[in-house]
């Protein structure tokens, strides 16, 4: 066929051809579905060499540029610059392909780097992370604003999302050729056994691309073309060598972990759903195992690998902290592991469609927060996406919880869309620790509480149990434990060699090389001069040797060994930092050096600390790590605070970070208090200083609350500013765990300081107290009611009370939970206040119980839509509980009330007694008989007297029943007019039950049922008297009514008396 000049030129350009052929090999491996070189459609071909469809439905548009004359890389400006001939730009074309469909992605491949674009893409994972990075770099922000935003119609979020779907691949022609030839050698073979000529394969695949230009190329097309020339795809499932290698790698991984097992067995440290279910199957396809450093993640993973291999499941463990420098692709990783290709397709093929598992250990090595190999993130991401294309490939990933929290890339693994189920490895419980100590013949009571906390970390317990008994008694801290472990292992190495070992020489050579190169494993030749000693240390499990690389058995011991020798050789931390890049690798070293110096040489420690924090050449992330170290010390001393205080004065921009060091730390609070820091800060009169000081105080642990309250009381002034500060204190302070702070909070309620704290803020505080201290919440609500009473003098209606409590929708959860969790306290605090409010506000209608304007309307039901209603409902709930559990206390609480003649208190009393009718039945009858007004309080079928009678009726004694029956039969309800006279009697007689009534009462009941036949078909527990009431005036008449008509209608429909309606609601 005829090939366009452009297409011929593309294939003639070998660099572009290499990428196209590499994409065809992805198709052979099943990692891509089809490729189209130079698509015919103009909108599909603009600015690209080819597009590639992936199995997950994504389409990648590839733009390949080999080099640019006279330049060293691609800037944002050059990528967005219009071409003089076409008027289009590289980025403009790629974004044009990405934008129309969310499944579209783009790849820019070149032999030259595009650092700014790569950096933007790495932070484009979410909006906040992206914007934060732009705010910290004027260069990136300017480039983004000037060159990328215009390509996306100045839509920042659209631009970020487009950048997120754009990848950059940088590789020169020679290394690309080498990768291509290596991949061909791993993927293909010749049936006749002759070697595979990679250059010939490249030629055949190039011919295929030219032959099928503009048309899709799929796997069958590629395999058919290769088959014509005697090449076949290798089937890994039939490759015994690869299967054996997978088994070897798994066994080697588990064997290394055996030395770390405590008492030679695996301790269960996973609670809840773990890695395996009860049928020994993996619980999820993607599992994220998290825990602290040294917390047993590797042991848990090794146990999983052993189980999987024992069940015949192909499993490959990969430790990311052991991947050598320069391994950045999946294929390179596979080759390094002795596999013919990337681990994922080899595993998938070896399993032949059945389950297989890729285990990633030490993923925290790639962390931006604390890892030492952050550049390996893309390798992990590629492995993860490869695994996604093979349904039979499962993944188990181990990572420190700290890094999952503090690295934005790792944090995304916790998101639902990542597909991982997180399984937490917890520390040893106190019971597990004591059990393991006893198994090792160690008396748990001989171990100090502080050391026990240290030993809950499995790594530390493993080290501790190795020590001799006399050394254990001297290992009183973490650093002392490491020191004794050092001594023990050095002695064991001497014994193994039969001479004095070159222990220090080995440690110096290995730790020095690792530090200088900022790696965690070193080539074998580094220890050639002390090879025999190094091998002995491997046998003693101090060092590990794998892949012709040496490393310490754990990173934490490397940090300790380096720090110990650094101090012994009089090293200077500034010199260490200035000796190379101040990468994340240095942070753990600094922390360990400072820890040892603090314990051994205070003067040198302070000098090093001061120089690190003051030197302008030290990067901020290093200084911040030093500050975090200071925040973690148990007993800070004056010299440390002197350095920090000087830093606050001289480096204002570090002030917030320095204050963060001491915030929330009891020991730091004690030190600052002794120096007079808080008193002097309050005395300055500066608003900002005062607010910062209070910010520190509210974060002090509850154990120091007494002193915090003393300081606040001492320096408080009667000003609006201080009132606002105290509002802040109670809003964010810990009121549940600190009695002193809670009492202070109540005093602020009582003196009116918190009068502006209403609505959601108030109830948020009450809810937080209810969670931990429900009795305290009851007390707080009671004090607030006191303030409402004082503030209003005389509450006139429920709307005023609701407004005081923050509005109609406030307090829904807090009041109910407080009443349920602490019913006795709720009644004790709230009932007397309600009684007082009733006494202040109730009126005395003739022939009726006292009527208060707040709660009397509720006595027939359990409405709870406003704070006032919820308070009464909460009282009802709490009183019911006390009636069932503490009848004596119920009597005491009710006897304290004075408003016994009120409808509200009558309702509460009957509701409480009705909760335990077997105990209170006769008291209910007597209560209703002794004051007939109580019988008239409500005829509602679910509330008041009717409910109480129905509940208690089966338990009435004959005498009580007769007296109550007589009272009901003789009752006259003044507000029932002739049409509805008797309805209250009907309700109550029905509630008693016809079978229990005397002859006279039965006769009256029959008469009333004939009078009100419509009630007989209604359930007794329906709210028949509630509903919407419309206007009695028809809509069509409204426009015709004069003022005189309106006055007449008002007189007609006005009903000041109480009414009982059995018909559907009408009127207005």
- Determine how many CB atoms are found less than 10 A away from the CB of residue 578: 12
- Asked if residue 637 is part of any domain, the answer here is no
Rounded distance between C-alpha atoms, residue 435 and residue 925, angstroms: 62
* C-beta of residue 257 within 8 angstroms of C-beta of residue 299: yes
- Tell me, yes or no, whether 970 and 1018 share the same domain: yes
**Last residue of a domain, which of 888, 915, 942?**
915
Let me know whether 901 and 782 are in one domain.
yes
pLDDT band at 585 (very low <50, low <70, confident <90, very high): confident
- Domain end marker among 563, 586, 618: 563
- pLDDT for 1056: 45
Q: How far apart are CA 671 and CA 641, in angstroms?
A: 8
8 Å CB contact between 893 and 931: no
Among candidate residues 926, 966, 981, 980, the one with its CA nearest the CA of residue 948: 926
Confidence of residue 548 (pLDDT cuts 50, 70, 90): confident
Q: Indicate whether 290 and 337 sit together in one domain.
A: yes
Mean pLDDT score across all residues of the chain: 86
Considering the domain architecture, whether residues 30 and 177 belong to the same structural domain is answered as yes
Long-range contacts of 995-999 (CB under 8 A, 24+ apart): 996/953, 996/956, 996/961, 997/965, 998/962, 998/965
- What is d(CA 40, CA 837) in angstroms, rounded to the nearest whole number? 85
Q: How many CB atoms lie within 10 A of CB 263?
A: 15
What's the average model confidence in pLDDT over 253-275? Answer: 79
Give a yes or no: residue 600 inside a domain.
no
The 10s digit of each residue's pLDDT in 390-429 is 778 899 999 999 888 888 899 999 988 888 999 888 988 9
Q: Count Cα atoms within 13 angstroms, Cβ side, for 249.
A: 24
- How far is residue 825's CA from residue 680's CA, in Å, rounded to a whole number? 42
What is the predicted pLDDT for the residue at 226? 96
770 vs 749: CA distance, rounded Å: 17
pLDDT at residue 912 greater than cutoff 90: yes
Measured between alpha carbons, how far is residue 716 from residues 216, 634, 710, 919 in Å?
78, 31, 10, 54
* Rounded Cα–Cα distance for residues 367 and 380 (Å): 12
Instruction: Report if residue 744 sits inside a domain.
Output: no
* Domain hosting residue 195, numbered range: 5-233
Band of the pLDDT at 1032, cuts 50, 70, 90? low
Whether residue 11 has pLDDT greater than 80? no
Least confident of 29-38, 83-92, 1026-1035: 1026-1035
Higher local confidence (pLDDT), 831 or 283: 831
Going through 921-991 in order, the beta strands assigned E by DSSP cover none
233-247, 723-737, 897-911: the lowest-pLDDT one? 233-247
- With residue 759 as reference, give the H or E element that holds it: helix 759-772
User: In this structure, are residues 181 and 198 in contact, taking their beta carbons and an 8 Å threshold?
Assistant: yes
403 inside domain: yes
pLDDT digits (tens, 9 = 90+) for 157-203: 999 999 999 999 988 888 788 778 867 866 788 888 788 898 999 99
Whole-number Å distance between alpha carbons of 348 and 357: 9
CB-based contacts of 159, cutoff 8 Å, min separation 6: 144, 148, 149, 151, 152
* Residue 607: Cβ within 10 Å count: 15
What is the pLDDT averaged over residues 469-492?
Answer: 93
Task: Confirm whether 258 is domain-assigned.
Answer: yes
pLDDT computed for residue 406 by the predictor: 83
* pLDDT surpassing 80 at residue 867: no
For residues 1006-1028, give the mean pLDDT.
Answer: 62
3-state secondary structure of 565: helix
Q: How confident is the model at residue 1057, as a pLDDT?
A: 46
pLDDT of residue 1064: 43
Q: Is residue 404 domain-shared with residue 283, that is, in the same domain?
A: yes
Q: For the segment 991-1013, what is each residue's pLDDT rounded down to a tens digit?
A: 998 888 999 989 999 998 888 88
| Tokens standing for residue 233 | 């795809």
Terminal CA-CA length for the chain = 89
- Does residue 1 register a pLDDT over 80? no
The crossing angle, in degrees rounded to 10, of helices 14-29 and 5-12 is 80
Q: Is pLDDT at 57 greater than 50 in this prediction?
A: yes
Nearest to 22 by CA among 198, 189, 168, 164: 198
Order of strands across the sheet that contains 543-546: 522-523, 549-552, 543-546
DSSP result, 369-420: TT-S-GGGHHHHHHHHHHHHT-TTEEEEEEEEHHHHHH-HHHHGGGSGGGTP
Helices (H), 528-637: 531-539, 555-568, 573-578, 585-600, 602-614, 620-632
Predicted confidence (pLDDT) per residue in 99-113, tens digit: 999 999 999 999 998
Among residues 518, 538, 563, which one ends one of the domains? 563
Percent over 70 (pLDDT), the chain = 89
> How are beta strands 104-110 and 522-523 bridged, if at all?
unpaired
pLDDT digits (tens, 9 = 90+) for 623-640: 888 999 999 898 999 999
Does residue 957 lie in a domain region? yes
The whole-number average pLDDT for the span 731-744 is 87
Share of the chain above pLDDT 90, in %: 47
Report the SS3 class of residue 244. Answer: helix
Tokens standing for residue 99:
């934008």
Instruction: Determine how many CB atoms are found less than 10 A away from the CB of residue 865.
Output: 12
Q: What is the mean pLDDT of residues 706-732?
A: 91
Q: Higher pLDDT residue, 150 or 372?
A: 150
The DSSP secondary structure of 672-687, one letter per residue, reads HHHHTHHHHHHHT--H
What gap in Å lies between CA 233 and CA 184, rounded to an integer?
Answer: 10
pLDDT at 798: 60
- Give 411: exposed, middle or buried? Use CB within 10 Å, 0-12, 13-18, 19+: middle
Residue-wise DSSP of 863-888? --SSHHHHHHHHHHHHHHHHHHH-HH
SS3 496: helix
Task: Say whether both 873 and 1012 belong to one domain.
Answer: no
Categorize the per-residue pLDDT at 491 as very low, low, confident or very high, splitting at 50, 70 and 90.
very high
Q: 188 and 280 share a domain? A: no
Residue 673 lies in a domain: no
Contact (Cβ atoms closer than 8 angstroms) between residue 816 and residue 877: yes
Stronger pLDDT, 138 or 1033, i.e. the higher one: 138
Domain identity same for 340 and 217: no
**Cα(545)–Cα(521) distance, integer angstroms:** 9
- Report residue 13's pLDDT band, with 50, 70 and 90 as the boundaries: very low
Q: Quick one: pLDDT at residue 655?
A: 86
Residue 907 shares a structural domain with residue 814: yes
* Band (963; pLDDT cuts 50, 70, 90): very high
Q: Are residues 271 and 228 in the same domain?
A: no
- Residue 1034: pLDDT over 70: no
Query: Of 359, 346, 352, 280, which Cα lies nearest the Cα of 315?
Result: 359
Same domain assignment for residues 352 and 262 = yes
Residues 332 and 479 in one domain: no
| Number of structural domains found in the chain | 6
Q: Is residue 599 part of a domain?
A: no
Q: Give the lowest-confidence range in 358-362, 537-541, 908-912, 972-976.
A: 972-976
Residues 735, 714: Cα–Cα separation, whole Å: 20
């Amino acid at each position: 066929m005829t090939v366009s000049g452009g297409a011929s030129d593309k294939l003639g350009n070998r660099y572009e051809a290499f990428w196209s052929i590499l994409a065809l090999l992805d198709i052979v491996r099943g990692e891509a579905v089809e490729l189209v070189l130079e698509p015919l459609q103009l909108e599909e071909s603009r600015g690209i060499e080819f597009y590639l469809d992936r199995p997950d439905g994504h389409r990648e548009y590839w733009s390949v540029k080999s080099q640019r004359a006279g330049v060293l890389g691609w800037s944002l400006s050059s990528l967005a610059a219009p071409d003089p001939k076409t008027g289009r730009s590289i980025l403009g074309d790629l974004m044009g392909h990405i934008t129309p469909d969310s499944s579209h992605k783009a790849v820019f491949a070149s032999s030259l780097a595009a650092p700014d674009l790569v950096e933007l893409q790495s932070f484009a994972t979410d909006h906040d992370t992206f914007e934060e990075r732009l705010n910290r770099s004027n260069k990136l922000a300017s480039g983004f604003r000037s060159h990328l935003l215009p390509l996306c119609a100045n839509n920042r979020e659209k631009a970020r999302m487009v950048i997120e779907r754009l990848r950059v691949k940088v590789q020169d022609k020679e290394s690309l050729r080498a990768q291509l030839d290596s991949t061909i050698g791993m993927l293909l073979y010749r049936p006749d056994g002759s070697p595979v000529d990679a250059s010939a394969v490249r030629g055949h695949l190039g011919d295929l691309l030219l032959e099928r230009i503009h048309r899709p190329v799929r796997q069958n097309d590629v395999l058919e073309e290769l088959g014509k020339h005697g090449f076949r795809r290798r089937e890994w499932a039939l490759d015994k060598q690869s299967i054996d290698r997978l088994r070897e790698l798994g066994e080697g991984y588990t064997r290394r972990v055996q030395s770390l097992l405590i008492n030679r067995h695996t301790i269960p440290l996973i609670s809840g759903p773990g890695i395996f279910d009860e049928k020994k199957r993996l619980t999820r396809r993607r599992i994220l195992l998290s825990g602290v450093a040294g917390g047993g993640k590797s042991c848990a993973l090794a146990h999983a690998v052993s189980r999987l291999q024992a069940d015949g499941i192909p499993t490959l463990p990969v430790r990311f902290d052991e991947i050598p420098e320069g391994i950045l692709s999946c294929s390179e990783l596979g080759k390094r592991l002795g596999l013919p290709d990337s681990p994922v397709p080899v595993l998938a093929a070896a399993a032949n469609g059945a389950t297989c598992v890729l285990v990633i250990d030490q993923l925290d090595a790639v962390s931006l927060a604390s890892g030492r190999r952050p550049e390996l993130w893309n390798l992990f991401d590629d492995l993860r996406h490869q695994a996604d294309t093979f349904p039979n490939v499962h993944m188990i990933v181990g990572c420190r919880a700290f890094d999952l929290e503090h690295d934005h890339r790792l944090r995304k693994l916790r998101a639902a869309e990542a597909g991982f189920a997180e399984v937490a490895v917890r520390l040893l419980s106190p019971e597990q620790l004591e059990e393991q100590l006893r198994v090792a013949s160690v008396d748990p009571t001989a171990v100090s509480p502080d050391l026990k906390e240290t030993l809950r970390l499995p790594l530390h317990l493993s080290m501790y149990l190795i020590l001799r008994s006399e050394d254990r008694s001297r290992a009183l801290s973490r650093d002392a434990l490491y020191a004794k472990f050092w001594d023990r292992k050095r002695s064991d190495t001497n014994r193994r060699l039969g001479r004095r070992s070159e222990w220090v020489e080995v440690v110096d050579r290995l730790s020095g090389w690792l530090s200088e190169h900022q790696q965690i494993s070193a080539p074998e030749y580094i220890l050639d001069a002390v090879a025999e000693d190094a091998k002995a240390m491997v046998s003693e499990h101090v060092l590990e040797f794998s892949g012709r690389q040496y490393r310490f058995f754990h990173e934490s011991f490397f940090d300790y060994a380096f720090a110990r020798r650094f101090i012994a050789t009089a090293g200077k931390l500034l010199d260490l930092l200035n000796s190379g890049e101040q990468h994340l690798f240095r942070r753990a070293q600094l922390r360990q050096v400072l820890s040892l110096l603090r314990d051994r040489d205070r003067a040198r420690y302070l000098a090093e600390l001061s120089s690190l924090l003051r030197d302008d050449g030290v990067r901020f992330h290093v200084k911040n790590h030093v500050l975090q170290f200071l925040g973690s010390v148990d007993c800070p001393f004056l010299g440390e605070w002197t350095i920090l205080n000087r830093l606050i004065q001289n480096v204002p921009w570090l002030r917030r970070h320095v204050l963060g060091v001491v915030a929330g730390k009891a020991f730091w609070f004690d030190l600052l208090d002794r120096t007079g820091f808080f008193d002097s800060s309050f005395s300055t009169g500066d608003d900002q200083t005062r607010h910062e000081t209070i910010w520190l105080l509210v974060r002090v642990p509850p154990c120091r609350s007494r002193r915090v309250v003393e300081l606040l009381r001492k320096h408080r002034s009667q000003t609006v500013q201080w009132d606002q500060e105290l509002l802040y204190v109670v809003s964010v302070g810990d009121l549940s765990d600190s009695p002193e702070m809670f009492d202070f909070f109540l005093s602020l309620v009582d003196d009116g300081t918190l009068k502006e704290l209403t609505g959601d803020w108030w109830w948020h505080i009450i809810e937080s107290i209810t969670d931990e201290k429900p009795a305290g919440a009851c007390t707080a609500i009671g004090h607030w009611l006191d303030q409402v009473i004082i503030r209003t003098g005389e509450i006139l209606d429920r709307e005023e009370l609701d407004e005081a409590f923050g509005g109609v929708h406030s307090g829904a959860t807090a009041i109910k939970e407080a009443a349920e969790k602490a019913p006795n306290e709720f009644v004790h605090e709230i009932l007397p206040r309600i009684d007082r409010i009733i006494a202040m506000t109730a009126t005395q209608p003739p022939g009726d119980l006292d009527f208060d304007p707040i709660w009397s309307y509720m006595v027939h039901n359990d409405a709870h839509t406003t704070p006032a209603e919820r308070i009464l409902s909460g009282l009802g709930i709490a009183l019911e509980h006390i009636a069932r559990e503490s009848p004596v206390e119920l009597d005491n609480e009710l006897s304290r009330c004075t408003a016994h003649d009120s409808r509200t208190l009558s309702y509460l009393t009957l509701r409480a007694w009705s909760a335990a009718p077997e105990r209170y039945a006769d008291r209910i009858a007597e209560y209703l008989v002794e004051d007939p007004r109580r019988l008239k309080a409500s005829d509602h079928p679910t509330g008041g007297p009717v409910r109480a009678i129905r509940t208690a009726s089966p338990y009435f004694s004959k005498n009580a029943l007769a007296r109550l029956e007589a009272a009901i039969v003789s009752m006259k309800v003044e507000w029932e007019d002739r049409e509805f006279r008797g309805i209250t009697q009907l309700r109550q007689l029905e509630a008693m039950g016809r079978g229990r009534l005397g002859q006279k009462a039965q006769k009256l009941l029959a008469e009333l049922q004939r009078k009100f036949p419509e009630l007989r078909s209604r359930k007794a527990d329906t709210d028949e008297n509630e509903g919407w009431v419309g206007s009695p005036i028809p809509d069509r008449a409204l426009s015709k009514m004069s003022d005189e008509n309106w006055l007449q209608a008002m007189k007609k429909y006005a009903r000041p008396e109480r009414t009982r309606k059995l018909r559907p609601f009408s009127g207005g």
